[in-house]
Amino acid sequence: MKSVLMILFLILAFLFSWLAEAKLKKKLFTNLLAYEKKGDSKNYFKLLEEPVAKICLSANSRLLLQLDYYLIYGDVNKVKKLITKITKKPADLSKDQNLLIRLMRSYVLFLDKNNNQEALKLEDYLRKNCKKTQIQKEIEQLHQVYLAPSQNLLTELSKQLKTAEKPQQKLIIYDRLTKVSESLGLKKQAKEYLTQMRKIAQKTIKMEEF
């Protein structure tokens, strides 16, 4: 009888602990999001170093949350430092979706900011550590869009646009069509793609508001 009661007590203690941690984690993320939206980097990073963050989040999770902040505000230098730290060791990105997403966002940021040296270093890491065909194709297309634009790429993107169904997919493709057209000196064509992209964006925003 005593052993049964002890087991029940342990189960209840575990549930209470789990619920308490879940509540703390929810409040933690709410506060982090609020600081992030305000651009309050001081309190954002201070909160990540407080005991509650260290209890609820692993060191790796806190590192990724730091990266999130710098990615949102486009701080290339800070992103570069964290990426250098993160990519010191190989990782199976096929099994770590959270890390893969952040690395892809960092890759695009480097490309957008014309930091080609960092972009190529990260590209090499991504190619070696993620063997998913879809990701490999995405990396290759991004490389071509920013670093090796061509008429063939325009044709390929136009084909993808015809089969795209979701607004978000169309926005991405139009953005890439615009970039490639500009790089090839096709200013009129680039302007047309940009106009179409804006129309879809406005329509999507109205749908979300509705």
What are the average pLDDT values for consecutive 10-residue runs of the chain, which has 210 residues?
51 42 82 95 95 90 96 97 95 93 97 96 97 95 97 96 92 96 96 94 66
Contacts of 62 (CB under 8 A, 6+ apart): 48, 53, 54
- What distance in Å separates the CA atoms of residue 27 and residue 29, rounded to the nearest whole number? 6
Q: Examine residue 3 and state whether it is found in any structural domain, yes or no.
A: no
111 lies in the same domain as 159 = no
Q: Work out how many domains the chain is built from and give that number.
A: 3
Q: Examine residue 63 and state whether it is found in any structural domain, yes or no.
A: no
Residue finishing a domain among 24, 57, 90: 57
Rg value, the chain, Cα: 22
Residue-range definition of the domain harbouring residue 118: 70-148
**Which amino acid makes up residue 165?**
E
32 lies in the same domain as 78 = no
94 lies in the same domain as 112 = yes
Q: What is the pLDDT of residue 11?
A: 45
The pTM (predicted TM-score) of the whole model is 0.85
Residue 148, both tokens: 């090796």
